[in-house]
Chains A and B, each alone.
Chain A
Amino acid sequence: GAGVSQSPSNKVTEKGKDVELRCDPISGHTALYWYRQSLGQGLEFLIYFQGNSAPDKSGLPSDRFSAERTGGSVSTLTIQRTQQEDSAVYLCASSSTGTRSYEQYFGPGTRLTVT
């Protein structure tokens, strides 16, 4: 079956604009994660959705960042009033519940460039 998909693959935006990044998890996966991959910073956890539970937003760097997950499937990460330091690759991952729930399947990422 299809893996995790993300769109767009690349996004260039001007400082101050809002952007939306989309993630389609693997069908049936109840857990969905967003990470940010910056040069020299590694992988930074942003937010985690599990089923109908309240999301774990502890990794969001500021209130300009928000995410939704509609119908337990597709997720959108929104960054408002983008800043140059938001430039990074944004990765989405999903996993299923059960004994292998810790294996996260990653999407190809969205490369965001803020000019």
Chain B
Amino acid sequence: AQRVTQPEKLLSVFKGAPVELKCNYSYSGSPELFWYVQYSRQRLQLLLRHISRESIKGFTADLNKGETSFHLKKPFAQEEDSAMYYCGLLGGGYNKLIFGAGTRLAVHP
């Protein structure tokens, strides 16, 4: 079965500290994984996708097929990073995104 697991509901850090939001997936095929972010009072939006291997707002995520993980990392958290983060997996039908439960990141001054 296709599944995305985000084990942490809340991650609380201080400004300048490193951040790692965990995401593990279960998928029998070749996965395509994404991170979506929802800032307060804003729409859910794409943050980054694994195939582009890009860094957005200082965030990176590496697909580890051996560990079936796609953790989101940032070396120095900023207060404006506070938001809800969702890990997503392209599942059946190719366009169907399956999301994890989300992790709320709170960055304190």
Contacts and interface: CB of A to CB of B under 8 A. Distances in A.
Interface of A: 3, 31, 33, 35, 40-45, 48, 50, 56, 58, 91, 93, 95, 101-109
A108 B44 CA distance: 8
Shortest Cβ-Cβ A-B pairs, 4 listed: A42-B101, A43-B99, A106-B44, A42-B102
Contacts of B46: 103-104
Interface in B61-109: 86, 90, 92-102
A57 to B, nearest CB: 11
B34 interface: yes
Q: How large is the interface on B (under 10, 10 to 19, 20 to 34, 35 or more residues)?
A: 20 to 34
Contact of A48 (B34, B86, B96, B100): B96
B9 interface: yes
B43 interface: yes
